[in-house]
Amino acid sequence: MAKRAMMEVVDQDPVASLRILFGRLLEDAEIGAVLVAQHLNKGGVPMPALVTDPERFEYADPLAPAFPINAAKIVSRLSRRPAGETVAAVLRPCEIRAFIELVKLKQGNMHDVLLLGIDCPGAFGNTDYARYVEGNGSRSSVDFLTAAIRGKTSTEDGLDISPACKACEHPVPENADVIIGMLGVDVKSSLFLYAGTPRGEELLSKLNFSEIREPEDRRSAVVELLERRIAYRDRMFEKTTEATADLEKLTAYLANCVNCYNCRVACPVCYCKECVFLTDVFDHEPAQYLRWARRKGILKMPSDTIFYHLTRLAHMSTACVGCGQCSNACPNNIPVMELFRTIAACTQRAFGYEAGRSADDEPPLSAFREREFSEVTGGKD
Amino acid sequence: MKYFYYSGCSLEGTAAEYDTSTRAVLRELGAELMEIEDWSCCGASAAESASYLLSMVLPARNIALASRTGIEADFVVPCSACYLNLRRVGDHVHRDEALAQRINEVLSEEGLTYQKGLKTRHLLDVLANDFSCEDLDERSRRKLSGFKVAPYYGCQCLRPYRDFDDPQQPASMDPLIEALGAQVHPWSAGARCCGAGLMTTKKNVALRLVGDILSAARGADCIVTVCPMCQMNLESFQSKISRERGEKLDISILYLPQLLGLAFGIRDRELNLHMNLALTEPFLHKLRTITGC
Amino acid sequence: MSTNEPNTNASPPGTRGADAMQTLAGRLSACMQCGTCTGSCANSESMDITPRHLWRLVQLGLKDCIFDSATFWICSSCYYCTLRCPRGLPLTDAMGELKRIAVAEGLFRDRTSPLFYRTFLDTVRRYGRVREMEVMARYFLALRSPAVSAGFTPLGIKLLMKGKIKPRIPGMSGRGKLGPIYDKVREMEARS
Amino acid sequence: MKEKIGSALIVGAGISGIRSALDLAEMNYHVILIDRAPHIGGTLRQLDRQFPDDHCGMCKMLPLVDRDAASQYCLRKGLFHENIDIMLSTDLVSLEGEPGRFQATLRFKPSLVDPGRCMGCGECARVCPVEIPDEFNAGLTLRKAVYLPVPHNIPNHYVVDEAACIRCGECQKVCPTEAIDLKLESRRAFRILVVDDELVVRDSIKEWLEDEGFSVDMAESGVEAVEKLGKREYGLMLLDVKMPGMDGVQVLKAARDMRPELPVMMMTAYATVETAVEAIKMGARDYLMKPFDIEKLVSIVVQYYQDTESIPERRVDVGAVILAAGFESSDAGLVKDTYGYGQLPNVVTSIEFERLLSGTGPSQGKLLRPADGRPAEKIAWLQCVGSRNLHLNADYCSSICCMYSIKEALLAKKHNGGNVDASIFYMDMRTFGKDFQRYRDRAQQEHGVKFIRSRVHSVEPGASNGSLSIVYSDPAGTVCQEEFDMVVLATGQKAPRGTSALAEVAGVELNPWGFCRVSDFSLTRTSRDGVFVSGSFSGLRDVSESLIQAGSASLCASALLHSKGGELAEVAHERYPVREVSREMPLTALAVCSCGEILERAAGLSGIVETLQKAGLVSEVFRFDRLCTRSDWEDLRKKTESTRCNRVLIGACLPYVYGKKLKELSRSAGLATSLMDVVDIRTPAFPGLDGDKRSVSRHILTAIEMALARLRGVDSLSPVHTEVIRKALVVGGGIAGMTAALAIADHGFHVDLVERSPQLGGNLRTLHRTIEGSSPRDLLERTLSRIEKHPLLTVHMNARVVHSQGRVGRFLTTLEKEDGRGEAIEHGVCILATGGKEAAPRSYCYGDSEAIVTQHELEGMFREGVLDPSRLGIVAMIQCVDSREEGRNYCSRVCCVSALKNALYLKERNPDTDVYILYRDMMTYGFLETYYTQARRAGVIFIRYDLEDRPAVEVIDGRLKVSVLDTVLGRQIILEPGLLVLSTGIVPAEHVREAEVFGLSINEDGFLMEAESKWRPVDFMRQGVFLCGLAHSPRSITESIAMAEAAAQRALGLLCRRELPIGSTVAEVRQSLCSLCERCIAACPYGARWRNEEEDRIEVDQPACQGCGSCAAVCPNGASVILGFRDQQILAVIDAALEQVGG
């Protein structure tokens, strides 16, 4: 049994090497299908695709600095009920963490999914990725990767990974079954694979990898990256807190919102079948709008914007994994991710909870504790 | 009011001033005291260690002597130890019928018969309950205003029999002291033990107890007592204790009737204050300003 | 029952005949060793074993240990323990009982107290009343300990000067009048 | 109104009384609940937190079925139930008649404040010049002479403390509703004769009493007194015992002849107390000790005055009576001399300490020393104050003090930055209840509470200012001195004042300690048929034990009512026709009460009403001057009968008062109660709130608008009812199971009783006799013969439950019989009485010698007569074998008593047998303490051992040697007993299977876990399933029986209904929104939700749902909805609160 393994990289191309690995999963490891990002039109954004034919990994590119969708929702759809076969899903850490949240909400199941997590150096926003690829067709995923794992994510033409990635303190998918490690590794010669669970261990054995020790530089590379990201994150928290300090500021912060609800659609953990904001609850009487308007003399339309965001914060901030898809999806560039992460940091701390950490943690509010929030109750429980 | 008066041995000897002052004060209050012909020692604490029966017979003999007179009156006993011994006979006989027979078998040697019925009372009980504060007030020729008096009860007039006062927080002396115009020293040592007979047999033990009491009395002008044993223990070793403790603990110790007598204006021939072993100069000075001599 | 010191002559209550110790144990059997007596006792610091310990020994019938101790001699009969015992046990009387047993059976190490009591009672027998001077003199004589009597000398002098000690014989008519009573008591106690 | 079949009287409205009342009310009996105090709640009104969770939770007692019949708010604040009439300040003065047909006379002590008029505005208290210590805060704070007895009550009326009142009349002047009448004339008419030979005494008493408004005559001698008695009528005579000439006793004799009804109060000095006591036997009412405490004297005189006033009496017919008169804390003053209570302000009683910790207490929950307000950082608890004390006729244990002291110590530790040092001085730590031992261990090991085994004899002032010094002797005999900031006296129980009078009235016997005596094998049957006892009136007990006993009492009462009434009161749930309005536009009728002129003046009420009408928010308006009067109410009733509106909102004062009235209105108007509401418009206009007319008016307008918004959005659909299968299943055929089965069957319902073994009886078969001397065998035979004969009982022997489905009211359970055959049983409720048994010893050489036996085995030997007690020599018993230490860390509660019982039996048979009991803490709680005393007196020798030095047992050549360290002597004691008896305790039966079948939890010791240890001791979280007996925790036969009765009572509360009504506030699932995340299932504290796998949806068990709203809070999808609290409705209410029409 192997817990840690080194995979040789062929032709100095880790992407190509991974494609071979995915093929072997289907052939040698009793995996029914592999879910992995693929370029469907050449040069376009890679999208998750479910592959069952070992020959069809030719455009698979899980290392591309693109993140058009958080695939947690897709994995949940694949695992809500038993499918009869195991699916291996190649995911970024934030996707895995979001999936774990969904599992807790009974929206998915870990049994029939094998999670392959990749070390994540970050990704561009949708528009930036398009510019990155278009600007210079020769730029490959491998070029970005080799620079990024050395700490350089920005390009000479001023592109950089998204703020969500810059503030992400989970670049390593510790809770995957198998982790594909690149930090602290020379990715042009080898990739470091290690098992996070007994199932992962089993898989590595099936693939006949042999046990090695952890690459020497890995730990320090991770620590260094984390330091940078946490510093960025804390600056972001500070800035956002200031920018949303009162209701007036918050209103200004969200002023550009058009109630398109894209952020909610893009959010991997927003799992309601039907959003309450689409129901009759917000179907107000015309006279009601006028009464509201009269109270302050002015009423933003469409109304209920702040209420919408606050409701989402109330419902989902404890499950927020900070993937940044909300900001990615916003047509008006509202820093939604910054707001969510800032609030989520508070709410998750309040419950001693970390979204996506483990499927065994009980989500806040579902466990009734008699003593909590003594700072709110004034110590009287 | 008539009482059988049982003075006990101490009042014939070392506590003569207690005897004379008691007689004088009760006379002033209009009480008549009847002597018990041929009375004998109550046995003190010694009889108990020799023989239970003897410890019952000795006090019972005195009660038998009194009941022989056919007069019905209460016993008044100034000495707490005597009081307890006499009081106990009635209690034990009450609980054990056979005991009365055994006692009488012994007493028949002298032709005496012990009978239940006569009530044994401590002098303090009589002073506090048979006379009203108005009586005391009326008889007081001068007020002892300005005097702070620490009432010391000791043990055996309070315990184990709760005849007239609370056994741990006694207060029966308070109205008497106040009726004389004096002030009660607030302390909690009034019912503590002075060491009693241990002063003879285990002196160091007793000295510690006395020291604590004297120390608690600081701020008072005098301590009043209602028992010769307490009086002796409190007054006799003040300088020794002061030396050992390194603090000045001398204080005047008076018998309660002596204090009453001072207010009543009873002459010193009967109060015999000169017999007290502990009378401090400041106390005497204060006394002179009141009596005017 | 035995202790790990095999020399004890104690036997468990209930197996012996009418014995004073056993009667006493019976009177104290309701004791639950709460320790109120010890806490209340003005003299417990001067005792070699505490009252609570003493009553436990009585319950268990460990007579040797009891009379090895001077605890009951140090009792000054203030009756606090009796008053406060939550079980209402006659503890002060029990101290007296122990003194009595000690005297009767000669079970004492320190003879000062028994001697004093004996001297006292002799005086009573002789005169009917107590002559303090004589009690003291005879007591110190019997004690043969000049150190102790010296401790009392200043007091004696003080008392003399105050006229409190008189050579007068106490006023009972007829010397030794209580003799028959003493004898009768002794006779009756020997009988039972 | 429904017809009430059968009615019960409950005396005492503490928690036991409330529990019994609710039990009977839930079965639809009519209940009259009286209390002599002006409030309900008894002692618990002062206690914020209970062990073991250090919380309150009293509301968990509120009905779970037919919730709408009762109030739904904090039970410490008040209680309302449509079947309960609560009468406060009321005494039972006579009880005549037969069981099932009693005539009770109740006397109501009128207050000078008319509760019908008082709205609790507090103006009177504001002007009252008197300040005296407040009983609610145990005297630690001050209150006025006109005051609220419990500050947090709902509704809350002021009362006048007549003893403290100086009759200045200020309150009467300012009362806006003219609710106060001080009745000064009637006081003046009360004439008192004071007889004393001492002028000073006469004069001062006269002065004090005249100050109180009474008329006083004086007599200086007995002769003069008699003369005066002949001439004039007196209300009271105060009489000195000792007077020259004709003394007090002689005067009393004369007075008894002349005026037998005249109350006489003796006055005495300490010395003549005996005479005074004699005088009481001759007819004097009481005596007062000189020197007088003025306050006490006055309050007693006022008491007499109130008694003789013309007091309204009411005669009621009741079928059964439950006495729940509670207890009284032992008077700490009795021990003031040693513990300094009353003199040293930092010495407090446990109740005072509870108040100190309370947020509504004197320091708002900060732990400060009463003397100087400095933080109390070092606190000592002294146990057994007033208990286990023969001097106070208290040869009993008060049962709860050990636990509450630990609780208080733990609570204290949370204060003052966690810097509190807590020491508990005790003799035996009596942790005999379920999980108590662990609670103690946690306190000691995790929280550092110090436990010192020593009884402290006195508390004295310490060296520094305000500190207290304690001298105690430690177990080793060393006398220690320690200083504390505060000392808490764990005061025990005492029979409440007036107990003997109540017992006389009710015709019940008292036990030697003045508590109610109960019959053999019952905690609740008194010496008078039809009169039952509940709660601490028969001895102090903690909350859960009180509730169990209360359940047992109500079961007994209900059995009696049932047997007399022929049929169990049946809830024909009110099904009066109501209008179907769900398709109508919401139209609201508003009824406003202007409280005379006040609201018009203070807020311009008509303006408010106009505004609302203009805005179209109300369709019809009814105005009233005083809606609290019967005539105005009738008027409203008539108006609502003919209104076209489909909502009614009442604007008035005291909305809580309207619960019952709204039902009445609902019936006559044909509108569902949920379509009606009451809003408080009176409070904003209370004097002293300093609002100007504009702001008062705005307050009222907002309040009405919010209520209107809520009413508009109300769901008018009536919920579905579930039909009940009116049969019970009882699992376990021991005494608990048999008792429960019989209790239910006696009420006319069929019961299936399932027993695993081939015979009924359980542990009863192995017991010889109880410590009280009764025979378990007789009990068994009696019970078996009743079971055999009962037509409604089916017994399934050699059977086990293997499967169960369904929910409250409708279960289908499968039994597996001996031969493997299955049988399905339908039932509406289930009681688990799966029992327990004596644990098999694992230590002390058990099995190595025939002379080592367990207590049970010893009893067996007695029963078989195979043991000759005359030849035993020495018998040793070891307590706590394998228990009260990890592995089995609980007290089995019965072993100490068994040991005492067997030891006493041995001593009785042969006094020469030496019996040694080796123990850790003697758990002789309650009146069992007296057997401990008896055993000590009988010469049983008790040797305490510590876990670190446990006894050693050896078997050498067949002979036993037991060595143990005597902790007092500090030396080893060696015994060579002929018989060694091990007290091994009780272990639960193997009931994992049963727990699984019914979806129940098991605690770490294997006992079944109740819904809530304190407030729902016989319920499970799973509704409709109950537990009793050893399956819950170790207990005695009698306690098991009581618990079985309590469980049967809970089950009958369901069975007595044909269908289960559902509360108007209940959860629903909007399936179209539900994402099936199941967070609501985890969040539901009542287990009322489950996932229907077949239809893939979340279901709500509506009869079990309590409408708490946890599911709605946790559901992010908005799919969980609480009826009456829909999103839209709440948003509309919020809007109404924030904006105003025209504002």
CB–CB contact B110 C180 (8 Å)? yes
D1123 contact partners, CB below 8 Å, separation of at least 6: D715, D719, D1064, D1065, D1066, D1067, D1068, D1107
The owner of tokens 């239910």 is D744
- DSSP annotation of D881 reads T
Bridge partners of D236, per DSSP, are: D192
**Which chains pack against B, by 3+ Cβ pairs within 8 A?**
C, D
Q: What's the Rg (C-alpha) of chain D?
A: 32
- Portion 442-461 of D in contact with B at CB < 8 A: 460
- How far apart, in whole angstroms, are the C-alpha atoms of residue D521 and residue D209? 52
As beta bridge partners, residue D422 has D379
Answer yes or no: is C13 within a domain: no
Residue to test with chain D: of C22, C28, C32, most D Cβ within 10 A: C32
Nearest to A35 by CA among A8, A10, A62, A17: A62
pTM, whole model, 2 decimals? 0.82
Q: In the CATH hierarchy, which fold is given to the domain comprising D112-179?
A: Alpha-Beta Plaits (3.30.70)
Helix (H), strand (E) at residue D123: helix D123-127
The whole-angstrom distance between residue D702's C-alpha and the CA centroid of its chain comes to 39
- Contact partners for chain A, using 3 or more CB pairs closer than 8 A, are D
pLDDT value at residue A195: 94
Provide the domain count of chain C: 2
What's the average model confidence in pLDDT over D262-270? 85
Run of H or E residues at D127? helix D123-127
Q: CA torsion angle for D547, D553, D555, D561 (degrees, to 10)?
A: -140
CB contact under 8 A, D477 and C60: no
Categorize the per-residue pLDDT at A194 as very low, low, confident or very high, splitting at 50, 70 and 90.
very high
Of D17, D1139, D26, nearest in space to D615 by CA: D1139
What pLDDT, on the 0 to 100 scale, is given for residue C161? Answer: 67
Q: For residue D296, how far is the Cα from the chain centroid?
A: 29
pLDDT at C5: 31
pLDDT computed for residue C130 by the predictor: 80
User: Does any domain span residue C47?
Assistant: yes
Residue C52: per-residue pLDDT: 92
D269 near B CB under 8 A: yes
Task: Report whether D1111 contacts D1089 (CB < 8 A).
Answer: yes
Shared domain for C40 and C90, answered yes or no, is: yes
Separation CA D754–CA D757 (nearest Å): 9
What is the arrangement of strands in the sheet containing D810-816, beginning at the earlier edge strand?
D800-807, D810-816, D822-827
Cis peptide bond upstream of D52, omega within 30: yes
Q: With pLDDT > 70 as the criterion, what percentage of chain D qualifies? A: 97
CB C117 within 8 A of CB B46: yes
Q: Are residues C100 and C50 in the same domain?
A: yes
> Helix, strand, or coil here: D913?
coil
Superfamily of structural domain D723-835+989-1055: FAD/NAD(P)-binding domain (3.50.50.60)
- Residue A185: CB partners within 8 Å, gap ≥ 6? A149, A191, A192, A215, A217, A218
Alpha carbon of D516 to those of B18, D91, D324, D523: distances in Å?
54, 17, 10, 10
Q: What is the token pair recorded at D846?
A: 């058990």
pLDDT at D490 over 90: yes
Quick one: C35 and C83 in the same domain? yes
Specify the pLDDT at position D1.
36
Q: Are A327 and A164 in contact (CB under 8 A)?
A: yes
State pLDDT tens for residues A338-354.
Answer: 999 999 999 999 888 99
- Per-residue burial over A299-311, b if 16 or more Cβ lie within 10 Å, else e, is ebeebbbeebbeb
Q: Is D55 within 8 Å of D90 (Cβ atoms)?
A: no
Chain segment D286-317, per-residue pLDDT in tens: 888 777 777 788 888 888 888 777 677 899 99
Answer for the pair D158, D175: CB distance below 8 angstroms, yes or no.
no
To probe the interface with B, which of C181, C183, C186 has the most B CB atoms within 10 Å? C181
CATH topology of domain D7-109+315-327+496-565: FAD/NAD(P)-binding domain (3.50.50)
Please give the pLDDT value at position A371: 64
Residues C92 and C132 in one domain: no
**C8 within some domain:** no
**A27-33, long-range: CB within 8 Å, 24+ apart, which pairs?**
A27/A54, A28/A206, A28/A207, A29/A88, A29/A203, A29/A206, A29/A207, A30/A86, A30/A206, A31/A85, A31/A86, A31/A87, A31/A88, A31/A114, A32/A83, A32/A84, A32/A85, A32/A86, A32/A87, A33/A85, A33/A87, A33/A88
C50 and D974 within 8 Å at the Cβ level: the answer is no
**pLDDT of D740 over the 60 cut:** yes
Closest Cα of chain B to D477: distance in Å?
19
Q: Hey, which of A322-326, C31-35, C174-178, D39-43 has the most confident mean pLDDT?
A: A322-326
Are both C147 and C91 inside the same structural domain?
no
Residue boundaries of the structural domains of chain A? 4-228, 243-364
- d(CA A268, CA D889) in angstroms, rounded, equals 48
Q: DSSP assignment of D173-225, as one string?
A: HH-TT--B---HHHHHT-EEEEE-S-HHHHHHHHHHHHHTT-EEEEESSHHHH
CA–CA dist A40, A63 (Å, integer): 15
B abuts A (3+ Cβ pairs < 8 Å)? no
Contact D1118 A276 (CB under 8 A): yes
Residue A116 to residue D114: CA distance in whole angstroms: 77
The CATH architecture one would assign to domain D1067-1122 is: 2-Layer Sandwich (3.30)
DSSP E strand boundaries for chain A: 4-8, 33-39, 46-51, 87-91, 113-118, 178-181, 190-195
Single out the residue of B269, B278, B264, B272 nearest to residue B224, CA to CA: B278
- Can chain D be said to touch chain C, i.e. do they have 3 or more Cβ pairs within 8 angstroms? yes
Determine how β-strand D647-652 pairs with β-strand B2-5. Answer: unpaired
Which pLDDT belongs to residue A378? 56
Determine, for residues C84 and D457 on separate chains, whether the beta-carbon distance falls below 8 Å: yes
User: How large is the average pLDDT for residues D981-994?
Assistant: 94
> Element (H or E) spanning A126, and its range?
helix A126-135
For residues D396 and C94, the answer to whether their CB atoms sit within 8 Å is no
Under a CB-based contact definition with an 8 Å cutoff, are residues D550 and D535 in contact?
A: yes
Q: What is the pLDDT of residue A322?
A: 95
**Which of B213-227, D261-275, D996-1010, D1052-1066 shows the lowest mean pLDDT across its residues?**
D261-275
Q: Is it the case that residue D542 has pLDDT exceeding 70? A: yes
CATH code for the domain in which residue C88 is found: 1.10.1060.10
Architecture of the CATH domain B2-123: Up-down Bundle (1.20)
Query: How high is the pLDDT of residue D333?
Result: 58
Same domain, C97 and C132: no
Give the pLDDT score at D340.
84
User: Chains A/D: 3 or more C-beta pairs closer than 8 A?
Assistant: yes
Homologous superfamily assigned to D329-489: FAD/NAD(P)-binding domain (3.50.50.60)
C124 & C153 share domain: yes
Q: How confident is the model at residue B22 (pLDDT cuts 50, 70, 90)?
A: very high
How far is residue D521's CA from residue D381's CA, in Å, rounded to a whole number? Answer: 35
* Contact call for C87 and D384, based on CB within 8 A: no
The answer to whether the CB atoms of C32 and D391 lie below 8 A apart is: no
Which pLDDT tens digit goes with each residue over D754-813? 999 999 999 999 888 899 999 999 999 999 999 999 999 999 999 999 999 988 999 999
Residue pair D212/D235 in contact by the 8 Å Cβ criterion: no
Task: Provide the residue-wise pLDDT of chain C in tens; the chain has 192 residues.
Answer: 333 332 222 233 232 333 789 889 989 998 988 888 998 888 888 899 999 999 999 998 888 899 999 999 999 889 999 988 888 899 999 998 998 888 888 887 777 778 888 888 888 888 888 876 666 666 666 666 555 555 666 676 677 667 676 655 555 555 667 888 899 988 888 876
- Mean pLDDT lowest for which of A312-326, D49-63, D849-863? D49-63
CA distances from D977 to C2, D844, D853, D962 (A): 11, 13, 12, 7
pLDDT for A365 beyond 80: no
Please give the span between the terminal C-alpha atoms of chain A, in angstroms, as a whole number: 51
Query: Rounded mean pLDDT of chain B?
Result: 91
Paired tokens of D1053:
């509360």
Same domain membership, residue C98 and residue C56: yes
- For residues B164 and B172, the answer to whether their CB atoms sit within 8 Å is yes
Mean pLDDT of chain D: 89
Domain boundaries, chain B: 2-123, 141-291
- Clarify whether residues C31 and C85 are in a common domain: yes
Q: Do C79 and B196 touch (CB under 8 A)?
A: no
What pLDDT score does C2 carry? Answer: 36
Of B129, B166, B169, the CB nearest to D271: B129
State whether C33 and C84 are in the same domain: yes
pLDDT at D609: 94
Largest CA distance in chain B: 60
Domain that holds residue C89: 20-105
Q: Region A317-325: what's the mean pLDDT? A: 95
> Do the Cβ atoms of A363 and D1078 come within 8 Å?
no
Tokens of D297: 């004297």
Q: What percent of chain A has pLDDT over 70?
A: 94
Q: Is B217 helix (H, G, I), strand (E, B) or coil?
A: coil
The answer to whether B243 contacts chain C (CB < 8 Å) is no
Angle (CA) B176 B181 B186, round 5°: 70
Planar angle of CA D738, D739, D740, nearest 5 degrees = 95
Interchain contact B110–C (C-beta under 8 A): yes
At D1126 the pLDDT is 85
- In angstroms, rounded to a whole number, what is the distance separating the alpha carbons of residues D782 and D708? 62
Q: Which residue has the higher pLDDT, D458 or B56?
A: B56
Q: Does C151 touch chain D if contact means CB atoms closer than 8 Å?
A: no
Scanning B191-210 for CB atoms below 8 A from C yields 192-193, 195-198, 200-206, 208-209
Q: What is the pLDDT of residues A199-215, one digit of tens each?
A: 999 999 888 888 888 88
The token pair at A171 is 């670049």
In this prediction, residue D416 has a pLDDT band, given cuts at 50, 70 and 90, of confident
Interface membership of C27 toward D (CB under 8 Å): no
Predicted-assembly ipTM surpassing the 0.90 threshold: no
Per-residue confidence (pLDDT) for residue C8, from 0 to 100: 26
Q: Which fold has domain B141-291?
A: Rossmann fold (3.40.50)
Q: What is the mean pLDDT of residues D453-475?
A: 86
CA atoms within 13 A on the CB side of D1042: 27
CATH of domain D588-712: 3.40.50
- The whole-number average pLDDT for the span D87-92 is 90
CA-based nearest distance B170→chain D, Å: 9
Q: How many Å apart are CA D797 and CA C38, to the nearest integer?
A: 60
Is A368 within 8 Å of chain D by CB?
A: yes
The beta-strand segments (E) located in D828-976 are 829-832, 836-838, 852-854, 874-878, 914-919, 941-944, 952-956, 959-966, 971-975
Residues of chain D with CATH 3.50.50.60: 7-109+315-327+496-565, 329-489, 723-835+989-1055, 838-987
Q: Do C39 and D944 touch (CB under 8 A)?
A: no
Q: Which CATH architecture has domain D185-310?
A: 3-Layer(aba) Sandwich (3.40)
Which backbone phi and psi does D134 adopt, to 5 degrees?
-95, 120
Q: Tell whether C33 is within 8 A of chain D (Cβ).
A: yes
Please compute the mean of the pLDDT values over residues D691-719 and round it to a whole number: 85
Summarised one tens digit per residue, pLDDT across range D499-534 is 888 999 999 999 998 899 999 999 999 999 999 999
pLDDT at site C3: 33
Binding-face residues of D in 312-351 toward B, CB within 8 A: 336-338
Question: For residue D588, what is the enclosing H or E element?
Answer: strand D588-593
More confident call, C126 vs D322: D322
Is the Cβ pair D1083, A366 closer than 8 Å? Answer: yes
Confidence at residue C14, expressed as pLDDT on a 0 to 100 scale:
30
Does the beta-carbon distance from D270 to B129 stay under 8 Å?
yes
Could you give the CA distance from residue D552 to residue D538 in angstroms, rounded to a whole number? 13
What is the distance between the alpha carbons of residues A13 and A188, in angstroms, rounded to a whole number?
Answer: 6
Q: How far is CA D805 from CA C98, D768, D774, D829, D1092, in A?
A: 74, 40, 42, 12, 13
Superfamily of domain D838-987: FAD/NAD(P)-binding domain (3.50.50.60)
- Can you say whether the dihedral through the CA atoms of D131, D133, D136, D137 is positive or negative? positive
Q: Which two tokens stand for residue D772?
A: 């009280």
Higher-pLDDT residue of A371, D1028: D1028
What is the rounded distance in angstroms from the CA atom of residue D893 to the CA atom of residue D926? 12
The 3-state DSSP class for residue B213 equals helix
Residues linked to residue D973 through DSSP beta bridges, in sequence order: C3, D964
